[in-house]
Amino acid sequence: MRAVFVQASVAAAVAAIAYFFVHNSLENLERLNVKTGFQFLARPAGFGITQHLIPYDEDSSYGRAFLVALLNTLLVSAISVVLATIIGFTVGLARLSRNWLVAKLATAYVETIRNVPLLLHLFFWYFAVLRPLPGPRQSVVFGGVAFLNNRGLYLPAPILEPGFAAIPIALLVAGLATGALVWWSRRTRLRTGRHHSVIWYAIVLLIGLPFVADVLAGFPIGWDIPRLAGFNFQGGVVVIHEFVALTVGLSIYSAAYVAEIVRAGVLAVPKGQVEAARSLGLRPGQVNRLVVVPQALRVIVPPLTSQYLNLTKNSSLAAAIAYPEIMLVFAGTVLNQTGQPFEVMTITMAVYLGLSLIISLVMNWYNRRITLKERTS
């Protein structure tokens, strides 16, 4: 009862403090004749957004602008997390390589990237690499279908024709079949101790089944190739430089920290485990994949969660290079136009809080899952 009383008292104190700050803020806003409420979300925004994954124009509402900015934030964060994980794991393992040159190059990458502020990374990729590119008429051409210039990267846009639905259905079936194969392989290994590699079956399923569906449907995917018309390209889809600079900068910067996390996790695996695996005749790649990495994940996942959280929150630096994410669009343009800082900043903070809690929830679930596997095995 004493513990319950203490916790209830702390919760009541936190609620009282929160109420005081909210009530005080609302009173001050009312005294200054500042409008309050969220009715502004239904009003027309009156400004454009350079990148939008859903239909949007100047007549769209502030709520629509918020959704566009949120999707842009989610897109760059998700891609950067994937790229940072791949690069970080590669560099982290490379730092432990027996090859002197590979290990030193990986060390130089980590020490150089980590000691330069992230904002300078973004400025470098945006102002020093992408902005000085030539104009549309002097574009860098890739295979005659992709064009890179100072206005962006122009890529072919897919045109979905009747019958296209068969391809995602085939991909879904292939994914389910691959999952079933992986589950069967793990169950068999735990029950009999025999390892059945299913990677080639998975590759055949994930590539072959959609390809067969594509052939049977009559190749229902066309391509809109960008073409130079006047002083700019028409057709296709353009990837703006702000997105490229932010994605590359976040990925490379975060990968340096992920690499150190991976290196620490691998070094935490007892050397006897590695020596035992080698004595069984396993190749170096098999030792890392089957013995080292599964055990290192118990050490890697908790700090990796923090790094994913930092990466997502660091995406707010995109405002410095004018990428239209939640901070620039909503906490910048919308705040200046509506003059409702309390509501706008509350929504913005709630977005980052929600994203952080979701990432923590997923990573904690994965951490419990691999820990449970280690205990049961």
- Tokens representing 286? 């098999």
Instruction: Report residue 197's pLDDT band, with 50, 70 and 90 as the boundaries.
Output: confident
| Residue at 317: amino acid letter | L
**Cα dihedral angle (170, 176, 180, 182), rounded to 10 degrees?**
90
Instruction: Report residue 60's pLDDT band, with 50, 70 and 90 as the boundaries.
Output: very high
Mean pLDDT of 300-311: 93
Q: Which residues of 173-194 are buried (b: 16+ CB within 10 A; e: fewer)?
A: ebeeebeebeeebeeeeeeeee
Query: Could you give the CA distance from residue 210 to residue 207 in angstroms, rounded to a whole number?
Result: 6
Long-range contacts of 235-238 (CB under 8 A, 24+ apart): 235/157, 236/154, 236/155, 236/156, 236/157, 237/154, 237/155, 237/156, 237/157, 238/151, 238/152, 238/153, 238/154, 238/155
Query: Could you give the CA distance from residue 185 to residue 219 in angstroms, rounded to a whole number?
Result: 34
Instruction: Report residue 303's pLDDT band, with 50, 70 and 90 as the boundaries.
Output: very high
pTM over 0.85: no
170-194 pLDDT tens trace: 999 999 999 898 888 888 877 887 7
Instruction: Give the Cβ contact number of residue 146 at 10 Å.
Output: 17
Nearest to 374 by CA among 207, 216, 190, 130: 190
Q: What is the residue-averaged pLDDT of the chain?
A: 88
Contact 295, 374 (CB under 8 A): yes
* pLDDT in the model for residue 372: 61
Q: Is 199 helix (H, G, I), strand (E, B) or coil?
A: helix
**Cα dihedral angle (366, 367, 370, 375), rounded to 10 degrees?**
-140
Q: What is the DSSP string of 72-111?
A: HHHHHHHHHHHHHHHHHHHHHHHHT-S-HHHHHHHHHHHH
* pLDDT in the model for residue 94: 92
99-111 pLDDT tens trace: 999 999 999 999 9
340-369 pLDDT tens trace: 888 898 899 999 999 999 999 999 998 888
Instruction: Report residue 298's pLDDT band, with 50, 70 and 90 as the boundaries.
Output: confident
Q: Which residues contact 270 (CB under 8 A, 6 or more apart)?
A: none
* pLDDT in the model for residue 373: 52
Instruction: Report residue 232's pLDDT band, with 50, 70 and 90 as the boundaries.
Output: confident
Contact 106, 95 (CB under 8 A): yes
